[in-house]
Structure 1
């Protein structure tokens, strides 16, 4: 099933289309020499309720689905080319992917691993070169999602409650949710990356990086990715396919093949997102699907609702199954630059000889952006 979905994603990625428009910028300051500085950020706090089948845990924390952050862009004239600098950091607030039944971490603890981006980007007719801390080539490839509800839940299922442990016979196991519900998406590293120019919506990227912010990790990261975007009056479509490999100094190599695609029908607001991936050096794999609707229910802004499902096999141990489903709702309040959201997710993990109790997670919060 995983290879079937990936083949389908590959087929649409290698076709052609029109480029996707960039988002509008806020808080832009320009000096007489043509330099511009853009400040941005968001605060995304949520109630998190987790039931592990025996106990219930309640927190008010940062939402890992789209973590609270601040950042700035500096754009410099570079002849006919573009030279940009981007700095972005999370705020160090305890987040949904970090809480669990036994740990008691500090609520506010900024560390250098909270630096998300510290990079220089040079682009022109030749393509784009990225240097510094930032997205690897395949970052986001497993997460194309036009549902409008990704803040409440998307293919990275571990973001909602990934550190919580499953229970066996009411006792905590050593298996965290995040270890058995993966989407294999690439992350951010200190890297050098190259993107080709975009041809009819099609672009290829490659990167090499190391995790220099987390000193305990000594490894080399490589990845390649292809992206495709299409925009028309009635249709918005994005897809991507990525391949990454991870070579630790001590430990086993990992190689991941993964991709996703998302389609929005603008007149009706109906949308569909799919993702799939596998560890090619092991047997673990997954498929994911989400169906949603975006429309105008209230005058204050657009509304979005969705439901999704995840099916994984052979995570941590051969013969295991990882099954999850969830529902999400988001309401925009445009005058306040606010998105209120509510989500529920059920995680079920089963082995050949072990029965794990389900974990249920609820998020109820809001994201304010500037």
Structure 2
């Protein structure tokens, strides 16, 4: 008999021998035979495990904990001064932890909740005396409850959410970016430095910030793009997805409302995503206060992404328009109507065993997005351009992305003689994002 054929027989013999030992082995002694304190060590260990185990509230609702940590090292140069800062992303894309719960009510029906807590330490977006700019390299932000809502969902009827949440049109254009670089580099100042101050060609530091040239009155913040991208209390409804298409609507008190439609799918060898959204905002209870008697802002956005699956080449674009309907600031000057657009192009391919490598370039332009400070200083029009690009490497085994990106800011302002000629600003950031 060959050696190959004898191996199964040997294995069968070993199995029979162990089975025989198991049959004739003596039975274990009962607890009474070993004395009354036989299980004391075991009970102590169980008690210890119970004391240190994370528990969910009940057995009916599942709980999932997820999130990511993201930090950057940035070298900046404003034409006169340069430095190196360490900071986080923010505010809506900062490091965070999410608690998601879900329970099945009946076949096809679920209920759940989501609680998202952010770490705003090192938030480069925050303003005020604690802003990260040429005079200050750190920000002492705290933990913040960004979202907290419950929902009811039907597979056939859709999803209803109530609480502090992302509304229907939030990031309808920006979230179409499927390149893997949306969080780290996009058309908003959430991935930039709106609180850095403009510097004149003579080297003087102005009180005006770059964010005053990318201001959104819908939320009263220097968002650049995605002018209603901040979460608020309200009610949201999402339809089920049909053939890649879905629609959303939301409302919040006193008053604002949004509508949006989205598509995601593959067409003839291309990955495609598209989104369009409309916001009407008359509520004064937005995230930031604008010095005006009332609010009457409308924001329209549209974005799309196309990637050739065979080559990894991709193109992403967004357009946004804000109409403030002639609303006057308390100074009597009018809030301007404005628009902006953004283009990102590159390639996403797995050239290393670690994961996909993404190389891209991008361009953003913000027209007449003048904030209250700029208007009250006499500004009548403006153009802000941001030119840049980067490389990102995904590390699949660690659910991580490391990246290097470059951003160049340049701007023109009409109406303020002291700011006729401005220095450009450059930012080079190395960062990492790890999911959990």
TM-score bucket of the superposed structures, by smaller chain = 0.7 to 0.9
1:50–1:247 CA distance, 2 compared to 1 (3 A): farther
1:149–1:328 Cα contact (<8 Å) kept: no
Question: 1:7-50: CA deviations, max 9, x gaps?
Answer: xxxxxxxxxxxxxxxxxxxxxx9999553211112111110222
Match among 42, 54, 76 for residue 103 of structure 2: 76
1:119–1:132 Cα contact (<8 Å) kept: yes
Q: 3-state SS of the aligned residue for 2:194?
A: coil
> What is the rounded CA distance, in whole Å, between the counterparts of 2:159 and 2:190 in structure 1?
31
1:1-370 matches, cutoff 5 A: 33-64=59-90, 66-79=93-106, 80-98=108-126, 99-103=132-136, 106-107=139-140, 109-111=141-143, 114-124=144-154, 125-143=156-174, 144-168=176-200, 169-181=202-214, 182-186=224-228, 187-209=230-252, 220-231=255-266, 234-249=269-284, 250-281=293-324, 282-316=336-370, 317-352=379-414, 353=417, 354-370=420-436
Q: Provide TM-score, normalisation by structure 2.
A: 0.71
From the two aligned structures, give the one with the greater strand fraction.
1
Structure 1 runs not aligned, ≥5 long: 1-28, 211-218
> What is the rounded CA distance, in whole Å, between the counterparts of 1:137 and 1:327 in structure 2?
29
Structure 2 runs not aligned, ≥5 long: 1-54, 127-131, 215-223, 285-292, 325-335, 371-378
> What is the rounded CA distance, in whole Å, between the counterparts of 1:228 and 1:336 in structure 2?
30
Q: How far is 1:94 from its partner?
A: 1.3
1:158–1:177 Cα contact (<8 Å) kept: no
1:192–1:366 CA distance, 2 compared to 1 (3 A): same
Q: Higher RCO, 1 or 2 (CA under 8 Å, sep at least 6)?
A: 1
2:172–2:277 Cα contact (<8 Å) kept: yes
Q: Provide TM-score, normalisation by structure 1.
A: 0.83
2:125–2:189 Cα contact (<8 Å) kept: no
> What is the rounded CA distance, in whole Å, between the counterparts of 1:132 and 1:252 in structure 2?
23
> What is the rounded CA distance, in whole Å, between the counterparts of 2:430 and 2:165 in structure 1?
29
1:152–1:330 Cα contact (<8 Å) kept: no
1:66–1:329 CA distance, 2 compared to 1 (3 A): farther
Question: 1:177-224: CA deviations, max 9, x gaps?
Answer: 2332311342211111112232222222111236xxxxxxxx743221
Q: 3-state SS of the aligned residue for 1:335?
A: helix
1:294–1:145 CA distance, 2 compared to 1 (3 A): same
Larger Rg: 2
What is the RMSD computed on CA atoms of the aligned residues?
2.4
From the two aligned structures, give the one with the greater helix fraction.
2
Question: 1:122-157: CA deviations, max 9, x gaps?
Answer: 111221111111101111112021222223311214
